[in-house]
Amino acid sequence: MAQARAAGSVAGAGASPHSISLKVLRLSHPSLSPAHTLPGDDLIARASLPYPAAPNDAFPLSPLLALPPAFGAAYVGTVFSCTLCANNELPPSSPIVVRDVQLSAELQVPSGSIALDLEGPDTVEGQDTQPAQTLQRIVRHELREDGPHVLAVTVTYQETRDDATNKRTFRKLYQFVAQPALGVRTKVGDLAARKDVPNARRFVLEAQLENLTETPIVLEKAIVSTAQGLTSKSLNWTATDENPILSPQDVMQVAFTFEQTQGEDLDEKNGRTVLAQLHVDWRSPMGEKGSLTTGWLGSRAR
């Protein structure tokens, strides 16, 4: 995890070291390992390949998977996952018995604090642990705000020695920054009314989608949820087309038209006609899902 720091313990100054240690590891999709061949004759080049059975060409990736070497980037619209490991660090001969180990976690985001649910092989809290045993839990949260985030993990347990029980607790903070994955710029305009329904207003929504990540992404879906009194039509790719691929910093434009349903009123707020919300889904090269939903978009009311 990025920038971990301890937040103190209720045991007070001069207390003995904790019997439980905490490790927090981010869960990320692996990536294809790069293949850099050595210069020289054909035999040396093939022997230097991570996967020797691969064709001897200049393709830079091998079929082997590699785990991320560091924390990596966290992007808005994706699911942030990590595993919490409370490890019993006592030696087997220790007279101390550790009981009732509990984990809790919250995520501090720019708008406030969110209590996180903990997943695990069982739902029993307050487990006893033997020396060298580990209590593991997994937390997941879909990132919806950009900016600094802090994962706060609290460990509580009981130490028993010679029939004397001491409750101990400590808290650690892990800082990271959530970055926008997809930049969206929108523009709404009016279209001329159709001759057969001259009183029905028509609109066009244009949106520029920019890949702000460091890897290509595959756009899976770009749709709109229309406000009352409107029908929409997509001017983008269909289910029979190949999904668009955006390389880093690539920009793609999508568009939709809207038409007022005959006999229905439009939703107007604060001098604007409310049209729709834009929903975009994408995937990373290794299949990690991402999604984004804009606020309600509108046009100037008449």
pLDDT tens track for 137-193 = 999 999 999 999 999 999 999 999 888 889 999 999 999 999 999 999 999 999 998
Beta strands of 194-287 (E only): which ranges?
A: 202-211, 217-226, 230-234, 245-246, 251-260, 268-269, 272-283
**Given pLDDT bands bounded at 50, 70 and 90, which one contains residue 292?**
very high
Place of tokens 């903070």: 173
Say if domain 182-300 classifies as CATH 1.10.1740.10.
Answer: no
> Is the distance from CB of 295 to CB of 247 less than 8 angstroms?
no
238-258 tens-digit pLDDT: 888 999 999 999 999 999 999
State the pLDDT at residue 126: 73
7-58 tens-digit pLDDT: 444 444 456 889 999 999 998 888 777 766 555 566 555 655 555 555 555 5
State the pLDDT at residue 78: 95
Q: Which two tokens stand for residue 294?
A: 């804009």
| Common-topology check for domains 4-28+69-179 and 182-300 | yes
CA distances from 187 to 101, 219, 227, 253 (A): 54, 20, 17, 11
- DSSP SS3 for 233: strand
Asked if residue 224 has pLDDT above 80, the reply is yes
Place of tokens 């090269």: 285
83 vs 163, higher pLDDT: 83
Q: Can you tell me the distance from the alpha carbon of 120 to that of 126, in angstroms, rounded to the nearest whole number?
A: 13
- Those residues whose C-beta lies under 8 Å from the C-beta of residue 10, and which sit 6 or more positions away, are 167, 168, 169, 170
Q: Can you tell me the distance from the alpha carbon of 191 to that of 40, in angstroms, rounded to the nearest whole number?
A: 64
Q: Indicate the burial class of 86 (C-beta count within 10 angstroms; 0-12, 13-18, 19 or more).
A: buried
State the pLDDT at residue 10: 44
Q: Indicate the burial class of 272 (C-beta count within 10 angstroms; 0-12, 13-18, 19 or more).
A: middle
Q: Find, among 275, 279, 282, the residue nearest to 298 by Cα.
A: 275
| pLDDT mean over 204-229 | 95
Q: Can you tell me the distance from the alpha carbon of 302 to that of 291, in angstroms, rounded to the nearest whole number?
A: 33
Asked if residue 77 has pLDDT above 70, the reply is yes
State the pLDDT at residue 35: 66
Q: Find, among 126, 249, 260, the residue nearest to 198 by Cα.
A: 260
82 vs 128, higher pLDDT: 82
> Is the distance from CB of 178 to CB of 10 less than 8 angstroms?
no
- Those residues whose C-beta lies under 8 Å from the C-beta of residue 208, and which sit 6 or more positions away, are 183, 184, 185, 186, 251, 252, 253
**Gap between the terminal Cα atoms of the chain:** 52
| pLDDT mean over 224-245 | 93
Q: Can you tell me the distance from the alpha carbon of 206 to that of 225, in angstroms, rounded to the nearest whole number?
A: 15
For 4-28+69-179, give the CATH class. mainly beta
Q: Can you tell me the distance from the alpha carbon of 281 to that of 179, in angstroms, rounded to the nearest whole number?
A: 17
Domain ranges (residues) in the chain: 4-28+69-179, 182-300
Asked if residue 85 has pLDDT above 90, the reply is yes
- DSSP SS3 for 158: strand
Q: Find, among 41, 71, 72, 74, the residue nearest to 56 by Cα.
A: 41
86-128 tens-digit pLDDT: 999 999 988 999 999 999 999 999 999 999 999 987 656 678 8
Place of tokens 């991570």: 50
State the pLDDT at residue 189: 93
108 vs 194, higher pLDDT: 108
| pLDDT mean over 78-90 | 94
